[in-house]
């Protein structure tokens, strides 16, 4: 897609500019740091626990998500069958066999397959796979196999749930067998059969249980028959156990990794994924609800097809499972290829779509869209506070956002006056409740800008840092990036009266070749296992160890790459001191705690560190860098502490 390439190269050039700027800045700060490296001076950190400067925003740390890097399909969404409705338009050969599917012709069998238009199980799915079996018998079955998302993971003694839509014109076709087969041995790990297919489209369900097999991702799914005949197949699905056992649910390991981040909110559905390359490819929420067979699926702007198995209700249930509040982004009439809907009557249907969407989320069973949600299986309404209007509308070169925002703002505020509305860029015609700022930068650029929000007007809109990341390391960020992130987070925490929400992006990447569209992503995985990057662990630490107020503090005499933030919880009589040392030298500190009658000697130290900024975690070394907790025994009103080189640390202590 040419426009996508233009956007990518534009972003790349912005990123390289920021790297160059970062390097120049590095040069500027490096000389004193070099001098400092020869004689590290002790710095003095004064903290006054009796002097809160402001409350910490309880919603500060959240998640941002979209379909990118195989985040849902081939990622969080636990479906194991790839291209289950045959709409992935990349073909594997000249015969245009559907991607990720292969014809099976064992022994003497002869068959052919094709994706046929005009025959599908629903109005949404109007094409299906036609399998014509000319010759087959028990010793020579014919069928199709699916390779999954870089393999199909199988574990011992585990139940898998399969389903598919099918029909046949040949009553003599006989049973259809579904098997899970090892790629290397050809051994069948589990299989189930459907006795006969009907002449009309019908859904069939099978359940398998594996035996004592070795855990592996080198497996595939086979659907086969043992008699000649023609059959049509669609929506072929296979699920392993899911988080909270939800049907059509999420991968357990990834949900657990997110749960450990204690996120306060989830911004969804994007990002560029909300906008789409063109208007018809936006996240059209009404096409993502209800039974899977009624979801037409759509091409995502990240160059692959989205199954829409992760639809609006699934996003909301994900929030429910992780106790996060939804931050709903609504399509606002602008798509990436500079397609836009003119403000005024043309935009009205899109505004109505957003109102309907809010009703689907929050409405009772007595409302039209609330009743649809109930029909889809979720009786209770979700609570919603934040709605974002669009995404990155500063890229709309026509400058229409101000007017589009106004139209959405007025309609939403009229019906839902309590909702907090987020603008994606500066607007002047209305005062948004929040503005969403995005930062993709080098570590150096973040080191140099930790005071970014110190002087922001406290009477203006609040700030949502809806996408941010240090982009160093690929596919997942390295420790140097985690240092940039941690430095930046100290600044957000210190300013969390105005920066009320922040979410790192992107969240996920499938690390298989071809899985990544955006380098530097928080959590990496293949189909079997997952790992957190050093940046992930920095997020876990910042979000887990936090008080409810920022206290007055000063740091004097520290090196230029030392950053900190201190928060205090009066209710728990606990302080949390976050320290970041991005230099190659240890930093001695004298820490003076004022305003406490007594400081308990014992405390906790949580430490994330590495030998070099390049050091990182990978799918094969998933926890090379991870937080280590130790007990502290020498805390006092004044204590000495040496902050190691290349480290991110939290000191948790209690006072009376």
Q: Which stretch binds ligand AHR (CB under 6 A): 123-131, 268-276, 310-318, 633-641?
A: 268-276
Give every CB contact of residue 247 below 8 A, 6+ residues apart in sequence.
239
Give the range of 122-130, 238-246, 270-278, 624-632 binding ligand AHR by CB under 6 A. 270-278
Rounded CA separation 299/15 (Å): 26
| x/- map, 515-554, ligand AHR, by CB under 6 A | ---x------------------------------------
Q: How do strand 530-532 and strand 523-525 relate by DSSP bridges?
A: antiparallel
Residue whose pair of structure tokens reads 């991968």 in the numeric block = 251
Instruction: Output 395 or 416, the one with its CB closest to ligand AHR.
Output: 395
Q: Is 293 helix (H, G, I), strand (E, B) or coil?
A: helix
Report phi then psi at 348, rounded to 5: -50, -45
Best CA proximity match to 351, nearest among 306, 441, 413: 413
Among 75, 153, 271, 343, contact with ligand AHR (rule: CB under 6 A):
271
- Closer by beta carbon to ligand AHR, 120 or else 276: 276
Cis peptide before 475 (omega within 30 of 0): yes
393 binds ligand AHR (CB under 6 A): no
Interface residue with ligand AHR among 79, 433, 467, 485 (CB under 6 A) is: 467
| Spatial distance between the Cα atoms of 370 and 355, rounded to a whole number of angstroms | 12
Phi first, then psi, for residue 52 (nearest 5°) are -70, 140
Burial call 621-644: b when 16+ CB within 10 Å, e when fewer: ebeebebeeeebeebeeebebebe
Q: Which is nearer to ligand AHR, 7 or 231 (CB)?
A: 7
Q: Closer CB to ligand AHR, residue 249 or residue 270? A: 270
> Binding string to ligand AHR for residues 198 to 227, with x set by CB under 6 A, is what?
------------------------------
Q: How far is the CB of 521 from ligand AHR (least distance, A)?
A: 9
Residue that is written with structure tokens 């911004």 in the block: 267
Q: Which helix (H) or strand (E) holds 14?
A: helix 2-38
Angstrom distances, CA of residue 44 to CA of 47, 450, 587, 588, 640: 10, 19, 11, 9, 9
Cβ 275 to ligand AHR shortest distance, Å = 8
Q: Which is nearer to ligand AHR, 408 or 639 (CB)?
A: 408
In the shown chain, the binding pattern of residues 471 to 510 toward ligand AHR, with x for contact by CB under 6 A and - for none, equals: ----------------------------------xx----
Rounded to a whole number of angstroms, the minimum distance from the CB of residue 621 to ligand AHR is: 25
One residue of 69, 224, 391, 617 binding ligand AHR per CB under 6 A: 391
Scanning residues 96 to 115, which ones bind ligand AHR (CB under 6 A)? Answer: none
Closest separation in Å from C-beta 68 to ligand AHR: 6
Q: Torsions phi, psi of 316, nearest 5?
A: -65, -35
The alpha carbon of 16 is separated from its chain's Cα centroid by a whole number of angstroms, namely 24
Specify the residue, 471 or 561, whose C-beta has the smaller distance to ligand AHR. 471
Asked whether the bond before 52 is cis by omega within 30 degrees of 0, the reply is no
Question: Alpha-carbon distance 348 to 355, whole Å?
Answer: 11
Q: Which is nearer to ligand AHR, 98 or 270 (CB)?
A: 270
Helix or strand holding residue 41 (H, E): none
What is the end-to-end Cα distance of the chain in Å, rounded? 62
Q: Is residue 567 a contact partner of residue 548, using CB atoms and an 8 Å limit?
A: yes
The residue (of 317 and 437) whose beta carbon lies closer to ligand AHR is 437
CB of 464 to ligand AHR, least distance (A): 13
In the bound complex, what is the minimum distance in angstroms from residue 571's beta carbon to ligand AHR?
Answer: 36
Contact segment (CB under 6 A) with ligand AHR among 21-29, 124-132, 269-277, 623-631 equals 269-277
Residue 625 main-chain phi, psi, to 5 deg: -120, 115
- Beta carbon nearer to ligand AHR, 8 or 134: 8
The minimum distance between CB 302 and ligand AHR, in angstroms, equals 8
| Nearer CB in complex with ligand AHR: 11/41 | 11
- Give the interface size with ligand AHR as a residue count (CB under 6 A): 11
- At residue 148, the 3 state secondary structure works out as strand
Q: Restricting to residues 34-93, which ones interact with ligand AHR according to CB under 6 A?
A: 66, 68
SS3 512: coil
Q: Which stretch binds ligand AHR (CB under 6 A): 265-273, 282-290, 340-348, 561-569?
A: 265-273
Q: Least CB distance from residue 284 to ligand AHR, whole Å?
A: 17
- Going by the DSSP 8-state scheme, the letter that residue 257 receives in this structure is H
Considering only CA atoms, which of 81, 68, 77 is closest in space to residue 153?
Answer: 81
Of the candidates 153, 269, 270, 547, which one interacts with ligand AHR according to CB under 6 A?
Answer: 270
Site string for ligand AHR, 416-455 (x = CB under 6 A): ----------------------------------------
**Helix-strand-coil percent breakdown of the chain, rounded to 5?**
25, 35, 40
Minimum CB distance to ligand AHR, residue 555 (Å)? 33
Token couple for 450: 């930790």
Q: Single out the residue of 48, 73, 339, 392 in contact with ligand AHR (rule: CB under 6 A).
A: 392
Residue nearest to ligand AHR (CB): 271
Compute CA 143 distance to the chain's CA centroid, rounded to the nearest angstrom.
36
Residue 459: count other Cβ atoms within 10 Å of its Cβ.
6
Upper half-sphere CA count for residue 56 (Cβ side, 13 Å): 29
Q: In this complex, which beta carbon is closest to ligand AHR, that of residue 272 or of residue 335?
A: 272
Read off the tokens for 375: 């029909």
Taking the least distance from each CB to ligand AHR, the nearer of 408 and 518 is 518
Residue choice 128, 219, 224, 272 for contact with ligand AHR (CB under 6 A): 272
Which residues in this chain contact ligand AHR in the complex, by CB under 6 A? Answer: 66, 68, 270-272, 391-392, 467, 505-506, 518
């Amino acid at each position: 897609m040419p426009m996508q390439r233009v956007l990518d190269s534009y972003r790349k050039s912005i990123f390289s500019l920021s790297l160059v700027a970062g390097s120049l800045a590095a040069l500027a700060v490096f000389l004193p740091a070099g001098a400092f490296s020869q004689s590290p001076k002790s710095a003095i950190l004064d903290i006054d626990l009796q002097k809160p400067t402001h409350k910490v925003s309880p919603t500060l740390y959240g998640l941002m998500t979209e379909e990118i890097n195989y985040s849902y399909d081939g990622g969080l969404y636990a479906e194991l069958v790839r291209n289950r409705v045959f709409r992935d338009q990349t073909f594997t050969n000249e015969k245009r066999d559907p991607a990720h599917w292969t014809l099976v012709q064992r022994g003497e069998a002869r068959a052919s397959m094709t994706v046929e238009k005009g025959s599908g199980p629903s109005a949404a799915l109007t094409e299906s796979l036609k399998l014509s079996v000319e010759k087959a018998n028990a010793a020579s079955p014919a069928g199709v196999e699916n390779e999954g998302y870089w393999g199909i993971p199988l574990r011992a003694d585990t139940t898998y749930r399969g389903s598919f839509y099918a029909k046949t014109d040949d009553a003599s076709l006989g049973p259809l067998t579904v098997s899970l087969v090892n790629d290397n041995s050809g051994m069948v790990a589990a299989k189930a059969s459907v006795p006969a297919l009907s002449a009309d489209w019908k859904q069939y369900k099978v359940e398998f249980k594996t035996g004592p097999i070795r855990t592996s991702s080198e497996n595939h799914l086979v659907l086969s028959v043992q008699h000649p005949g023609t059959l049509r197949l669609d929506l072929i699905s296979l699920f392993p156990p899911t988080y909270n056992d939800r049907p059509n649910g999420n991968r357990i390991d990834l949900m657990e990794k997110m749960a450990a981040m204690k996120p306060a909110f989830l911004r969804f559905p994007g990002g560029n994924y909300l906008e789409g390359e063109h208007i018809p490819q936006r996240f059209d929420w009404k096409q993502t609800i209800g039974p899977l067979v009624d979801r037409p699926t759509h091409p995502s702007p990240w160059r692959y097809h989205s199954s829409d198995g992760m639809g609006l209700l699934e996003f909301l249930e994900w929030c429910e499972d992780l106790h996060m509040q939804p931050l709903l982004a609504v399509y606002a009439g602008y798509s990436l290829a500079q397609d836009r809907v003119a403000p005024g009557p043309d935009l009205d249907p899109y505004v109505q779509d957003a109102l309907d969407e809010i009703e689907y989320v929050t409405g009772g069973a007595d409302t039209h869209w609330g009743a649809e949600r109930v029909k889809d299986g979720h009786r209770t309404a979700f609570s919603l506070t934040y709605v974002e209007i669009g995404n990155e509308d500063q890229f709309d070169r026509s400058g229409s956002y101000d007017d589009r925002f106004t139209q959405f703002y007025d309609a939403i505020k009229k019906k839902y006056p309590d909702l907090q509305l987020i603008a994606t860029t500066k607007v002047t015609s209305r005062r948004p409740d929040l503005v969403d700022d995005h930062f993709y930068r080098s570590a150096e650029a973040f080191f140099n800008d930790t005071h970014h929000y110190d002087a922001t007007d406290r009477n203006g809109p609040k700030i949502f840092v809806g996408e941010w990341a240090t982009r160093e390391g690929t596919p997942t960020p390295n420790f140097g990036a985690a240092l940039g992130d941690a430095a930046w987070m100290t600044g957000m925490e210190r300013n969390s009266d105005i920066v009320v929400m922040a979410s790192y992006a992107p969240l996920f990447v499938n690390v298989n070749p071809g899985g990544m569209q955006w380098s530097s992503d928080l959590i990496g995985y293949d189909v079997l296992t997952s790992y957190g990057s050093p940046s992930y662990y920095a997020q876990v630490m910042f979000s887990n160890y936090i008080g409810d107020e920022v206290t007055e503090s000063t740091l004097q005499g520290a090196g230029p790459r030392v950053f900190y933030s201190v928060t205090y919880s009066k209710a728990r009589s606990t302080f949390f001191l976050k320290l970041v040392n991005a230099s190659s030298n240890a930093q001695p500190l004298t820490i003076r705690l004022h305003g406490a009658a007594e400081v308990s000697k014992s405390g906790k130290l949580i430490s994330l560190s590495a030998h070099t900024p390049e050091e990182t975690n990978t799918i094969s070394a998933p926890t090379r860098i991870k937080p280590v907790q130790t007990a502290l025994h020498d805390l006092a009103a004044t204590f000495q502490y040496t902050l190691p080189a290349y480290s991110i640390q939290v000191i948790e202590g209690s006072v009376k």
